Amino acid sequence: MELFAYLDPGSASALLAAVLAGIAGAGAAIRTYGAKIKEKLFFWKKDEPAAATPAASAAAPSDSSDDKPAEK
Amino acid sequence: MANAEPGSFRDRDSRVVITDDAILRALSPEGAGDWDALAASPLLEDLVNRGDLIPTKEVDLAVLNGSTDLLPSGVTRVLEHQRVPFISYPYEWTFSMLQDAALLQLDLGIAAVDQGLMLKDATPYNVQYQGANPIFIDVGSFETIPEGLPWVGYRQFCMLYLYPLLFQAHKDIPFHPWMRGSIDGIQPIDAIKVFSLRDRLRRGVFLHTSLHARLDRRANKSGPGDADAPKKERTVKPEAVKAHMASMRRLVAKLKWKTGETSWSGYRAHNTYSDDDDKAKQKFVAEVCAADKPALTWDMGCNDGAYSRLAAENSEKVVAFDFDHATVESLYRSLKAEGNTQILPLVGNLADPSPGLGWRGLERRTLSDRGTPDLMMALALIHHVSISANIPIAEFLDWVQDLGSNLLIEFPKRTDPMVRALLANKQEGANADFDLDNFEAELKKRFNIEKREELPSGDRVLYLARPLS
């Protein structure tokens, strides 16, 4: 039987939360800056309509569209 | 008279206080600092205007009548909250209600980070429902962002929101008994035992359940550690905390519960009523509500909520209870689509109503402690209470009498097809107290029968009864 009585029950969770924040933060950064890098790598496609996407994501740094609060 | 709310002792910087006419929140100097930060940001007004946060204003410290020792570091500020018409708990909500509360919790958490704030916890007990609209009630949860810390409410969010939702979505296991069984929710090490290997491959299950449980076990094995050892400095940036909550939001928003068809969810389409009975019943209910205009009506055994809606035309608020989760889920979804803030749908079993929970049994209140109705509707219900749950007719009426509520009740005779079906598996002469004459005699001992109407089929009788004063 596992006993948690002596432990701060949040210690493992806090570690996991820190790791997950790191992963999610990196993911968000990749989504934001990845778009910018892609824009630079494929600079010749700049004038095509697809190039509108990076501009939109740059306007909302580190946040993708489905991160936004749901409209009520 | 100012009384500290027994369920709000956990946060030492903020305590709810109930007076005769107001819901107050007493704040410590630190709590007042956090409130100032929230009030100075555009977030407070924005959330209140959107109906996401309970309307709150500062009031004079004098309203506490000198009770400034409610918090260990003293009370320096008092807030007044708008009253929620009827308090409900997550073990009375449907899947979508818990999911919408979780999304509100995360939306507020994400919005707070943008203003240099964070929510210090993540519990569905900080969310209440006004009809089908979830509203966050714990203004004291907002604090100035603690430097370098990860999402502090993460564990609590998993135990009280995520695991119950995953149970229902992936395993079709009702979360209500788990939530009612433990005020702190489901431990990661218990949650993981429910999931199969295949489930662990589903989105979020491995990270938030398997890994979480594994780390818990490892922490448990390594013991409490050295209290004097230097603490490891973690520096998690607020943007990363926000990204963590945003990724949890994506996970929660995608969860779906396939309710399926239960014996009750198609009840309206294939019940034993004639159209004439139905019309007469609607007329009776509409007339009673139009005359009484009750502030609070309880519709016990509401099924698809047709009579709750009828009652709502002339009641200020209606609480619609049914013990069938799928039926209430479908009612919630339709009320939500309409933006209904008047009818609160809840999962509840009259034969086993919500008890008092937590410290001293007072942290979460019993059903009747949370406010009694002006009118109780018990339509097509008493035969289930009496015959299926074996609750004596006299005791059921005692219960309603104790609530002091007017009673609109439908009594099906022993000749009614549904009653005969329920009695079919019982011994000859079982539930002898389930009899029209006996019911009326017991009713008259406690109530004054103001209206009595036999439905056209001749199998059922409707009553409006008021407690004898």
Q: What is the mean pLDDT of residues B217-222?
A: 85
Q: How confident is the model at residue A33 (pLDDT cuts 50, 70, 90)?
A: confident
Does one domain contain both B209 and B280?
A: no
Our count of domains for chain B comes to 3
Does one domain contain both B449 and B363?
A: yes
User: B151 and A10 in contact by Cβ < 8 A?
Assistant: no
Assigned domain for B99 exists? yes
Taking contacts as CB-CB distances below 8 angstroms, the residues of chain A near B217 are: 2
Over residues B68-113, the pLDDT tens digits come to: 778 888 899 999 999 999 999 999 999 999 999 999 999 999 999 9
In this prediction the ipTM stands at 0.76
Q: How confident is the model at residue B272 (pLDDT cuts 50, 70, 90)?
A: low
Whole-number mean pLDDT of chain B? 93
Structural tokens at position B462:
């409707």
Assigned domain for B264 exists? no
3-state secondary structure chain B: CCEECCCCCCCCCEEEEECCCCEEEEECHHHHHHHHHHHHCCHHHHHHHCCCECCEEEECHHHHCCCCCCCCCCCCEEEEECCCCCCCCHHHCCHHHHHHHHHHHHHHHHHHHHCCEEECCCCHHHEEEECCEEEECCHHHEEECCCCCCCCCHHHHHHHHHHHHHHHHHHCCCCHHHHHHCCCCCCHHHHHHHCCHHHHCCCCHHHHHHHHHHHHHHHHHCCCCCCCCCCCCCCCCHHHHHHHHHHHHHHHHHCCCCCCCCCCCCCCCCCCCCHHHHHHHHHHHHHHHHHHCCCEEEEECCCCCHHHHHHHCCCCEEEEEECCHHHHHHHHHHHHHHCCCCEEEEECCCCCCCCCECHHHCCECCCHHHCCCCEEEECCCHHHHHHHCCCCHHHHHHHHHHHCCEEEEEEECCCCHHHHHHHCCCCCCCCCCCCHHHHHHHHHHHEEEEEEEECCCCCEEEEEEEECC
Assigned domain for B225 exists? no
Residue in B with minimal Cα distance to A8:
B224
* Residues of the domain holding B44: 1-83
C-alpha R_g of chain A: 19
Model pLDDT, residue B99: 98
Model pLDDT, residue B358: 94
Nearest chain A CA: its distance from B243 CA (Å): 5
Does one domain contain both B329 and B356?
A: yes
Which of A17-31, A57-71, B21-35 bottoms out in mean pLDDT, i.e. has the lowest?
A: A57-71
Does one domain contain both B100 and B44?
A: no
DSSP label at residue A10: T
Over residues B383-417, the pLDDT tens digits come to: 999 999 999 999 999 999 999 999 999 999 999 99
Q: If you average pLDDT over each of A23-27, A32-36, B69-73, B458-462, which comes out highest?
A: B458-462
Alpha-carbon dihedral angle through residues B104, A68, A72, B343, given to the nearest 10 degrees: -20
pLDDT at B331 over 80: yes
Over residues B297-320, the pLDDT tens digits come to: 999 999 999 999 999 999 999 999
pLDDT at B118 over 50: yes
Does one domain contain both B89 and B78?
A: no
Assigned domain for B55 exists? yes
**Chosen domain end from B20, B49, B83:** B83
Does one domain contain both B313 and B458?
A: yes
Q: What is the mean pLDDT of residues A40-64?
A: 52
Assigned domain for B227 exists? no
Least CB–CB distance from B236: residue in A21, A28, A69: A21
Does one domain contain both B71 and B111?
A: no
Taking contacts as CB-CB distances below 8 angstroms, the residues of chain A near B110 are: 67, 69
Does one domain contain both B361 and B373?
A: yes
User: B212 and A16 in contact by Cβ < 8 A?
Assistant: yes
Q: Is B202 on the interface with A (CB under 8 A)?
A: no
Q: How confident is the model at residue B187 (pLDDT cuts 50, 70, 90)?
A: very high
Over residues B220-261, the pLDDT tens digits come to: 887 766 767 766 666 899 999 999 999 999 999 999 998 865
Q: What is the mean pLDDT of residues B140-159?
A: 93
Assigned domain for B269 exists? no
User: B103 and A70 in contact by Cβ < 8 A?
Assistant: yes
Residue in A with minimal Cα distance to B208:
A16
Nearest chain B CA: its distance from A51 CA (Å): 25
Q: B159 Cβ partners below 8 Å, 6+ apart?
A: B184, B185, B186, B187, B188, B191
Q: Is B216 on the interface with A (CB under 8 A)?
A: yes
**Chosen domain end from B27, B55, B83:** B83
pLDDT at A60 over 50: no
**Chosen domain end from B53, B83, B113:** B83
Quote the percentage of chain B above a pLDDT of 90: 83
Q: How confident is the model at residue B52 (pLDDT cuts 50, 70, 90)?
A: very high
Assigned domain for B267 exists? no
Does one domain contain both B245 and B307?
A: no
Q: How confident is the model at residue A65 (pLDDT cuts 50, 70, 90)?
A: very low
Does one domain contain both B107 and B140?
A: yes
Nearest chain B CA: its distance from A32 CA (Å): 12
Residue in B with minimal Cα distance to A16:
B212
Q: Is A5 on the interface with B (CB under 8 A)?
A: no
Cβ-based contacts under 8 A for chains A and B:
105
Beta-strand relationship, B23-27 and B14-18: antiparallel
Quote the percentage of chain B above a pLDDT of 70: 95
Chain A (9-48) residues lying within 8 Å, Cβ to Cβ, of chain B: 9-18, 20-22, 24-25, 27-28
> 3-state class of A25 per DSSP?
helix
Taking contacts as CB-CB distances below 8 angstroms, the residues of chain A near B131 are: none
Does one domain contain both B349 and B313?
A: yes
Assigned domain for B455 exists? yes
User: B224 and A7 in contact by Cβ < 8 A?
Assistant: yes
Does one domain contain both B215 and B301?
A: no
